[in-house]
Amino acid sequence: MKFLLAQINPVVGDLEGNAKKILNIASKAYSISADFVLTPELSLWGYPANDLLLIKNLIKNQYQILDQLALDINNQYENLSITVGIAEIINDSFFPNLYNSIALIESGEWKIIARKIILPTYEVFDEKRYFRSEEKVSVLIKKIRNKTLRLGITICEDLWVNKDIEGRGIHKKNPIVDLKKKKVDILINLSASPYTFKKIELRSKVSSFAAQYLQVPLIYVNQIGANDNLIFDGNSFILDKNGSKIKQLKSFSEDLSSWEIEQTKPEKNQFEKSEMSSIFDALVLGVRDYAKKCGFKTALIGLSGGIDSALVSVIATAALGSKNIYCVSMPSKWNSSLSKSDAKDLAKRLKTNFNILPIENLMTSYEESFIKTMDFEMAEITNQNIQSRIRGTLLMALANQDKHLLLSTGNKSELAVGYCTLYGDMNGGLSVIGDLYKTNVFKLCNWLDSKDSIKHRKEYELNTQMNIIGKNIRTKAPSAELGPDQLDTDSLPPYSILDNILKGIIEDKKDVKQLEEDGHEKELVLKIISLIKKAEFKRKQAPPILKLSSQSLGSDWRVPIAISY
């Protein structure tokens, strides 16, 4: 039996377009005499489809599209078999009335061969809002070329059942244990598993455990692409019965790869990547797909000369190409000459479009207007926020005028403690590095300016002959430059300390006592907690944040605004 693993990038809700993509894959499978094509979880819909799954006519329409796809495949490619992820209607009076299912297309027809058992409701996932859980495991008995195989079919979370690896606790059901009794020959997992730090390593571990436990090869097929704030990395693979990898597909890229069950010798892995390169690839894919799927061809960035906007500019250039990036410097009287020149030089190195829009005159007009009409002299913080909001207004005007995607440049440290201005620097259609702490921003920029990134820079057609971020930007003390000689450390601890505390609070859910035990001063911890709470209303109005961690401050951060604890 010859499998074709189809690691595809569907567009959420584009049922017809996704069906055409699957039909095109059928053509390629036919050309190499593949027997069985595997596509990811909900491949007809794209993942996550969220409340599109509540639109009844769209659900019904999927069946017509699936019927036509089955006929087209049969007419053009004869006996080819293809799995397609769909939302299956349950015909009863209960809600939710859908299964997250896998349909098998063959001989001009389709049938359901598997339903998802474990429905995740942590982080960004909310599958119990849409789907009902299946009770029993799925085994497909498949006869091809006079050989009969028992294929265990699981869907994404059904594989994540080892609490010692994933650390979330024990599920009430364990499909892998149940499949042991079924004596399957191969375990297949069809997934839409988003990228987060260490996720690729964790996936390998849970998959290896399952393959060894069942003593069968495991085929893992994952979606790629970015949908809103989620980034899917692909990285599909095949393991032998000992849990060792024998095939690896590309990361952050569509890929097709065939495998015959007799093939047990490991292929040479040419796709290994470092953590920094994976983070960069993820963010580039996040920006590229968000722009493409939302209909944007160009991006706009407020370029300050600081490290955050510099990093976002590099990512955007890699994603969309230098000619499609528009950088704008908006200096006030507090911006240093070095910051102005750093912004200009960075744009030159990236070969992006660059303009300067000074805001000093606008700032003066605001100050005079308040004094004359309201006898109101702006306090320091008000003055600083007005500067940011002037810049935000100018950027939104340019974005509206030329249909640019405005990219927000704030990092996770700033979003956490509220060192960002609502309707100012928080403006934008997408927050690119909002899930990267400031210390990680520095790490990624240092990597970009190292020899280790040259291969990557070449792939993205970025300059390989010099530092791309630049030493000036990487080594200057962080500052919003909204006041005279202002530094971030005037009111915050060094980022090496701040980020450690923030990670403890946000990702690790530690309380004051636990953070004290980690060596942090109680007064400082209480101050940081207070800042986080006070900034909650801002984060609820922030643009979508590309998710990289197990706990971003985006859609998976569900802390109320009006709280006391």
Alpha carbons 172 and 34: distance in angstroms, whole number: 37
DSSP E strand stretches across 117-242: 138-144, 147-155, 186-191, 218-222, 224-227, 230-233, 237-239
Pair 501, 526: CB distance under 8 Å: no
Q: What is the DSSP string of 10-29?
A: PPTT-HHHHHHHHHHHHHHH
Pair 386, 359: CB distance under 8 Å: no
Burial code (b: 16+ CB inside 10 Å, e: under 16) for 22-56 equals: bbebbeebbeeebbbbbbbbbbbbbbbbbebbeee
Instruction: Please count the CA atoms within 13 angstroms of the CA of 512 that sit on its side-chain side.
Output: 11
What are 37's strand-pairing partners? 4, 82
Backbone torsion region of residue 9, taken as left when φ is above 0, otherwise alpha when ψ lies between -120 and 50, otherwise beta: beta
**Of residues 2, 21, 41, 127, which has the active-site annotation?**
41
3-state SS, 55-123, equals: CHHHHHHHHHHHHHHHHHHHHHHCCCEEEEEEEEECCCCCCCCEEEEEEEEECCEEEEEEECCCCCCCC
- Residue located via tokens 């944007």: 296
Alpha carbons 39 and 4: distance in angstroms, whole number: 9
SS3 186: strand
The beta-carbon contacts of 261-269 under 8 Å, at least 24 apart in sequence, are 261/1, 261/3, 261/149, 261/186, 261/217, 264/240, 269/245
Q: Is residue 156 annotated as a catalytic residue, yes or no? A: yes
Q: Is residue 41 annotated as a catalytic residue, yes or no? A: yes
Q: Is residue 461 annotated as a catalytic residue, yes or no? A: no
**Of residues 127, 156, 245, 445, which has the active-site annotation?**
156
**Of residues 2, 88, 106, 116, which has the active-site annotation?**
116
Alpha-carbon torsion angle 346, 347, 350, 351, nearest 10: -150
Active-site amino acid positions: 41, 116, 156
